[in-house]
């Protein structure tokens, strides 16, 4: 029992927190664990799926915009091809001096087609001289080329429409390409060429629209030379252009530089083409597969971007879309942040509920503990008192036994002495006539000695009576202490009954 009393305080000392603290923590733990499992599942399974979905949307957006460009260019190529096969065009090139009214009407109809955006449509002789054009004469390029050298060489070998590299007029802020188609007679002899100068405004529109997403996304179109021929323009008015427009992503070869110089490509005569190096984009362009999602730090940007590309099926151009990496992962991150906010709110709510519940659970238990401690103190005090009472009772019993034996002894002795006195008195009365002086003195001496013995016995009996009186008084005190002990025990029993009720209110009945 003493060992258990020593272990209980040690256990109480080891407890650092009260029950009202443990209960909210336990409830919070029970609430947090499922939420943490949910967060882990989102991070492991849902987040990659969301990122993959966003990446797929990015790929589809790139593909869609490039296909819009392809559709637009295909229609323009078909316009030029159809025009080159028109009989009136062939007749006009056979006889340039003939009436051109019919041809002008044809050129007029092409010029005013919806979304065509032709700058001019011209008929050129086989030597490259202008025959007729609408609405204005064609602009020459570089060394006064009305048809660039590459186009003449290609059209001699193929009947496909030839698309030139990009030209740029800084004054009008118009980028354009020339579409060339050969015109042949029935013997496949070249009569001349149809040249249509096409503005790239329609092609720039999907590139500029990328900024409408509002997440710092942008796009560019790279031609076969690695020059940015379209670039998302932050100036919605269109009066200025991005400094990256008509800049190469990697150093150009000498051959390409000469071609740019000779044909005045990209507005070379007013704004020389330079390299705005972007090694990561150049590497992605050369090594990445179409539709792949890469991660690069583009030139001129201060953060990582997800990048994807899609190559045209009509011209050697590549549409490249850039989207901030945090925008790609943003939706998943926002969901995680939302989960964290929910976890925080739930945690606060659980802690609040736990505090209330913990107090409601802990207060009866704490009151019960206090009452148990009081009962323990009372029982300990009662035990000490009962120990004293037991010692007093032992002393009382021993004293009473001694007093009783003494009283019995002296009572018996007094009885014997009284009998002896009585006997001597009868003998004295009977023998007084015959008694001599010596005999009389002896009898009287014995009577006096018996009387003295009786007197001493009476004194001893009085002493023993005093001890018995003390024993009775102690017995009375012990009785009172036992009564108080019974009262304390009754109070302790009442407290224990109250404690049982308190604990029952917490844990419930069986």
> Stretch 7-11: mean pLDDT, rounded?
46
Indicate whether 280 and 426 sit together in one domain.
Answer: no
Distance between CA 297 and CA 251 in Å, rounded?
19
CA dist list (Å): 440 to 277, 426, 434, 437: 162, 13, 10, 5
- Give 430 or 92, the one with higher predicted confidence: 92
Neighbouring-strand partners of residue 198: 118, 177
Indicate whether 318 and 371 sit together in one domain.
Answer: no
- Assess whether pLDDT exceeds 70 at residue 484: yes
CB 489 within 8 A of CB 380: no
- Closest by alpha carbon to 107, among 98, 95, 120? 120
Task: Return the half-sphere exposure (C-beta side, CA atoms, 13 A cut-off) of residue 204.
Answer: 24
Indicate whether 292 and 250 sit together in one domain.
Answer: yes
**Mapping DSSP to helix (H, G, I), strand (E, B) and coil, where does residue 96 land?**
coil
Domain that holds residue 418: 354-507
Tell me, yes or no, whether 228 lies in a domain.
yes
Which pairing describes strands 318-324 and 218-222: parallel, antiparallel, or unpaired? antiparallel
Please report where in the chains the tokens 């006009």 appear, as a residue.
92
Which pLDDT band, with edges at 50, 70 and 90, does 11 fall under?
Answer: very low
Indicate whether 214 and 65 sit together in one domain.
Answer: yes
Indicate whether 161 and 299 sit together in one domain.
Answer: yes
Indicate whether 205 and 66 sit together in one domain.
Answer: yes
Which pLDDT band, with edges at 50, 70 and 90, does 218 fall under?
Answer: very high
Indicate whether 313 and 425 sit together in one domain.
Answer: no
Tell me, yes or no, whether 297 lies in a domain.
yes
State the total domains in the chain: 2
| Other Cβ atoms within 10 Å of 350 Cβ, number | 20
> Stretch 340-359: mean pLDDT, rounded?
75
CB 195 within 8 A of CB 178: yes
Choosing from 278, 313, 328, the residue where a domain stops is 328
Q: Which helix (H) or strand (E) holds 415?
A: helix 330-431
Tell me, yes or no, whether 239 lies in a domain.
yes
Indicate whether 267 and 193 sit together in one domain.
Answer: yes
Indicate whether 323 and 363 sit together in one domain.
Answer: no
Alpha helices in 85-172 (DSSP H): 87-94, 101-111, 149-157
Contacts of 167 (CB under 8 A, 6+ apart): 139, 141, 175, 176, 177, 178, 263, 264, 265, 266, 267
- Closest by alpha carbon to 104, among 121, 118, 90? 121
- Closest by alpha carbon to 321, among 302, 344, 337, 298? 298
Q: pLDDT tens digits for 138-189?
A: 999 988 899 999 999 999 998 999 999 999 998 888 999 999 999 999 888 9
- Assess whether pLDDT exceeds 90 at residue 368: no
Distance between CA 47 and CA 24 in Å, rounded?
32
Tell me, yes or no, whether 408 lies in a domain.
yes
Tell me, yes or no, whether 288 lies in a domain.
yes
- Closest by alpha carbon to 414, among 440, 382, 453, 376? 453
CB 378 within 8 A of CB 491: yes
- Residue 5: per-residue pLDDT: 46
Distance between CA 179 and CA 195 in Å, rounded?
6
Distance between CA 293 and CA 284 in Å, rounded?
10
For 257, list phi and psi in degrees, rounded to 5. Answer: -60, -40
For 133, list phi and psi in degrees, rounded to 5. Answer: -150, 160
Indicate whether 322 and 457 sit together in one domain.
Answer: no
CA dist list (Å): 300 to 62, 218, 242: 21, 12, 11
> Stretch 406-426: mean pLDDT, rounded?
76
CB 164 within 8 A of CB 148: yes
CA 144 to chain CA mean position, Å: 66
> Stretch 208-212: mean pLDDT, rounded?
86
What CATH number corresponds to the domain at position 74?
3.30.450.20
Indicate whether 499 and 418 sit together in one domain.
Answer: yes
- Give 253 or 300, the one with higher predicted confidence: 253
Contacts of 418 (CB under 8 A, 6+ apart): 450, 454
- Residue 471: per-residue pLDDT: 74
Indicate whether 217 and 138 sit together in one domain.
Answer: yes
> Stretch 378-397: mean pLDDT, rounded?
70
Tell me, yes or no, whether 485 lies in a domain.
yes
3-state secondary structure 175-201: EEEEEEEEEECCCCCEEEEEEEEEECH
- Closest by alpha carbon to 411, among 466, 463, 457, 462? 457
Tell me, yes or no, whether 379 lies in a domain.
yes
CB 285 within 8 A of CB 249: yes
Tell me, yes or no, whether 452 lies in a domain.
yes
**Mapping DSSP to helix (H, G, I), strand (E, B) and coil, where does residue 492 land?**
helix
- Residue 510: per-residue pLDDT: 52
What CATH number corresponds to the domain at position 402?
1.10.287
Choosing from 310, 328, 346, the residue where a domain stops is 328
Q: pLDDT tens digits for 21-51?
A: 666 677 777 767 777 777 676 666 555 666 6
Please report where in the chains the tokens 């051959």 appear, as a residue.
255
CA 40 to chain CA mean position, Å: 9
Dihedral of CA atoms 345, 351, 357, 362 in degrees, nearest 10, equals 180
Radius of gyration of the chain (CA): 62
């Amino acid at each position: 029992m003493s060992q258990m009393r020593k272990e209980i305080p040690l256990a109480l000392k080891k407890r650092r927190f009260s029950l009202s603290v443990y209960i909210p923590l336990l409830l919070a733990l029970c609430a947090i664990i499922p939420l943490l499992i949910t967060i882990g599942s989102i991070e492991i399974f849902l987040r990659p799926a969301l990122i993959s979905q966003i990446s797929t949307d990015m790929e589809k957006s790139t593909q869609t915009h490039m296909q819009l460009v392809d559709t637009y260019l295909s229609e323009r190529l078909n316009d030029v091809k159809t025009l080159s096969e028109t009989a009136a065009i062939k007749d006009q090139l056979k006889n340039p001096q003939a009436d051109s009214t019919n041809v002008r009407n044809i050129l007029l109809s092409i010029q005013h087609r919806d979304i065509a955006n032709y700058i001019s449509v011209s008929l050129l002789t086989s030597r490259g001289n202008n025959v007729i054009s609408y609405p204005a004469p064609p602009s020459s390029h570089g060394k006064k080329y009305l048809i660039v050298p590459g186009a003449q060489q290609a059209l001699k070998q193929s009947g496909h429409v030839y698309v030139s590299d990009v030209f740029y007029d800084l004054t009008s802020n118009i980028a354009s390409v020339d579409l060339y188609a050969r015109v042949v007679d029935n013997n496949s002899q070249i009569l001349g060429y149809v040249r249509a100068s096409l503005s790239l405004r329609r092609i720039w529109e999907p590139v500029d629209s990328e900024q409408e997403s509002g997440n710092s996304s942008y796009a560019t179109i790279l031609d076969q030379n690695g020059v940015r021929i379209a670039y998302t323009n932050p100036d919605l008015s269109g009066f200025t252009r991005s400094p990256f427009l008509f800049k190469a992503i990697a150093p150009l070869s000498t051959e390409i530089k000469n071609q740019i110089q000779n044909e005045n490509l990209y507005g070379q005569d007013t704004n020389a083409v330079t390299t705005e190096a972007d090694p990561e984009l150049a590497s992605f362009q050369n090594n990445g597969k179409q539709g792949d999602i890469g991660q690069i730090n583009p030139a001129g940007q201060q953060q990582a971007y997800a990048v994807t590309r899609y190559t045209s099926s009509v011209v050697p151009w590549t549409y490249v879309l850039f989207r901030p990496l945090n925008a790609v992962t943003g939706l998943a991150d926002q969901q995680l942040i939302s989960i964290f906010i929910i976890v925080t709110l739930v945690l606060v709510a659980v802690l609040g509920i736990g505090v209330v519940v913990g107090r409601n659970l802990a207060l009866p238990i704490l009151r019960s503990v206090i009452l148990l401690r009081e009962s323990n103190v009372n029982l300990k005090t009662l035990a000490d008192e009962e120990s004293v009472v037991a010692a007093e009772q032992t002393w009382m019993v021993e004293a009473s036994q001694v007093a009783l034996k003494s009283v019995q002894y002296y009572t018996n002795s007094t009885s014997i002495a009284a009998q002896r006195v009585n006997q001597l008195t009868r003998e004295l009365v009977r023998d007084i006539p015959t008694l001599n002086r010596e005999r009389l003195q002896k009898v009287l001496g014995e009577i006096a000695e018996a009387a003295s013995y009786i007197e001493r016995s009476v004194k001893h009996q009085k002493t023993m009576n005093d001890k018995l009186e003390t024993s009775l008084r102690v017995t009375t005190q012990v009785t009172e202490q036992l009564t108080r002990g019974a009262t304390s025990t009754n109070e302790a029993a009442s407290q224990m009954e109250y404690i049982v009720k308190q604990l029952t209110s917490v844990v419930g009945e069986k």
